[in-house]
Structure 1
Amino acid sequence: MIEVLIPGFHTTVQDLGRTGYRHLGVSVSGALDRQALMLANRLVANPDNAAGLELTAGTLELKFHRDAWFSLTGANYEIKIGSREIWHGWRSKINAGETLILKGPKSGMRAYLAIDGGIDVPISLSSRSTLTAAELGGHQGRALKVGDRIPLGDKLSLSKPIGAVQRGYSNEVRALAGPEMALFTQDSRKVFWSRQWRLSNDSNRMGARLSGEALNLEQEPNLNSHAVMPGTIQVPPSGQPIVLLADGQTTGGYPKIATVIEADLWKLAQTRPGEKLQFIHVSPNQAEDANYEWQQYFYRLQKAIDSCS
């Protein structure tokens, strides 16, 4: 078990999300940076879908009530056990009675804490992920608070620290043209792909709200509400795009100008409010190649971990 001494800002339990319920209006939720959670889990020998903690900002202090191995990936946080500094992106040992202190982020936006055995909160609709808007899953359907006691899975037999090379960050986000791209003026289509967009302070786990030159339609479309998914880029009447994220709604009526490819969604999770990003137009084949690159990364990572164990 771990005990929350200081909860940080909007720290939640997340796994890779819940699938098969979007037709009921239930968002997928789960880690916004799926690759970072998978990396943290692999470093502590958990399954990829084991639940961990998603940190957004501030200071998180956890007292451990059993010996454990942990790893923190994603955004770069200061990591300490008492006064002892710990490396980011490594599997490290903490003993029962010790306190883990995480402060940040120094860079990036969201970090992921995996603990051997995983976070063992109850499963809700096939997932341990927290969907706060519905008070579903995670720890009592909400962000962590002071005094919370979070159960852990069974301790694993791990013997030594290991680390992994962290990915580089680029503000270029690859995207596919959306089904309503042709409804926008030629100038707006050019603006969408050629200009940088600033992440708004109003962004959250539901969507990344962007600000820049307003996008205009050739004429007002008559669109029925339709299915949307994480990565969908909708353009409301303000002309300012919104990239739907893990907690986003399952249907919407705004025109869809583009869709962020799955391999690059993590960049939205790690962009801070005020920072800029630029969309890069890719083909479906290029999107598949990008996913394959991630598969190869985790294949090589697992081989390296196995060779060190």
Structure 2
Amino acid sequence: MIEVLTPGFHTTVQDLGRTGYRHLGVSVSGALDRQALILANSLVGNPDNAAGLELTAGTFELKFYRDAWFTLTGANYEIKIGSREIWHGWRNNIKAGETLSLRGPKSGMRAYLAIDGGIDVPLYLGSRSTLTAAELGGHQGRALKVGDRISLGNKLSISKPIGAVQRGYSNEIRALPGPEMAQFTQQSRKVFWSSQWQLSNDSNRMGARLTGEVLDLTQELNLNSHAVMPGSIQVPPSGQPIVLLADGQTTGGYPKIATVIEADLWKLAQTRPGEQLQFIHVSPNQAEDANYEWQQYFYRLQRSIDANS
């Protein structure tokens, strides 16, 4: 068991999300930076989909009630057990009664804490992920607060520390043209691909709101509500794009100018408000190649972890 001593700004239980319920209006949820959670789980011997904690800025402190192995990936936090500093991205051991302190982040936006055995909260529609807007999943359907006690899965047999180098962050985010791209003026299409967009303070797990030059349609569109998904880039009447994320709605009626490829969605999770990003036009084949590169990265990583554990 673990106990929350300091909850951070917004810390939730997340796995890789719940699938198969979008037709019922249930968002997929799950880690915004899926790659970071998978890496953290791999390092402590958990399945890829084991539940961990997603931290969004601030100081987070946990007391452990059993010996455990843990790792922190994603955003670069200062990590301490008591007064002892710990390396980011490494598997480390903590003893029952000790306190883990995480402060930051120094870079990035969201970090992922995986503990051997995983976070053991009830499954809801096949997932342990928290969807705070609907108050379901995770720990009581909400962000963690002081005094929360959360069960852990069975302790795993691990013998030594091991670490992994995370792939570098870039503010270039690859995207495919959306179904309504042609409905925007030629100038707006040019602006969309060439601009440095700034992430707004109003961004959250539902969507990354961007600010920059206004995007205009050639004429007013009256679209029926239709299916949208994480990565869809909608343009509301304000002309400022919104990239839908894991907790985003399942239907929408705004025109979609583009879609972020799956392999780059994690970058939006690690972009801070005020930072800039640029969309890069790619083809469907290039999007598939990028996803394959990620799969190969994790395959090589898992082989390395297995060989050194």
Which residue of structure 1 aligns with residue 156 of structure 2?
156
Unpaired stretches in structure 2, ≥5 consecutive residues: none
Which residue of structure 2 aligns with residue 61 of structure 1?
61
State whether structure 2 residue 194 is matched by structure 1 residue 194.
Answer: yes
Quote how far apart the aligned CAs of 1:67 are: 0.2
State whether structure 2 residue 29 is matched by structure 1 residue 8.
Answer: no
- Partners of 1:142 and 1:9 lie apart in 2 by 12
Number of residue equivalences: 309
Instruction: Kindly provide the amino acid, as one letter, of the partner of residue 301 in structure 2.
Output: L
- Partners of 2:152 and 2:141 lie apart in 1 by 17
Which residue of structure 1 aligns with residue 134 of structure 2?
134
- Partners of 1:173 and 1:25 lie apart in 2 by 27
- Partners of 1:174 and 1:182 lie apart in 2 by 18
- Within 5 Å, which residues of 2 pair with 1:1-309? 1-309=1-309
Instruction: Kindly provide the amino acid, as one letter, of the partner of residue 105 in structure 2.
Output: P
1:165-210 deviation line (CA, Å, top 9, x unaligned)? 1111100000000000000000000000011100000000000000
1:103-128 deviation line (CA, Å, top 9, x unaligned)? 01000000000000000000001000
Quote how far apart the aligned CAs of 1:96 are: 0.3
Question: Identity over aligned residues, as a percent?
Answer: 89
TM-score by length of 1: 1.00
Instruction: Kindly provide the amino acid, as one letter, of the partner of residue 300 in structure 1.
Output: R
Structure 1 residue runs of 4+, over 6 Å off? none
Instruction: Kindly provide the amino acid, as one letter, of the partner of residue 11 in structure 1.
Output: T
SS at match of 2:8: strand
Instruction: Kindly provide the amino acid, as one letter, of the partner of residue 123 in structure 1.
Output: L
- Partners of 1:167 and 1:82 lie apart in 2 by 29
1:127-162 deviation line (CA, Å, top 9, x unaligned)? 000000000000000000100001000000000000
Quote how far apart the aligned CAs of 1:8 are: 0.5
- Partners of 1:208 and 1:61 lie apart in 2 by 27
- Partners of 2:146 and 2:73 lie apart in 1 by 23
Instruction: Kindly provide the amino acid, as one letter, of the partner of residue 287 in structure 2.
Output: A
Quote how far apart the aligned CAs of 1:163 are: 0.2
Unpaired stretches in structure 1, ≥5 consecutive residues: none
SS at match of 2:191: helix
TM-score by length of 2: 1.00
- Partners of 1:40 and 1:300 lie apart in 2 by 15
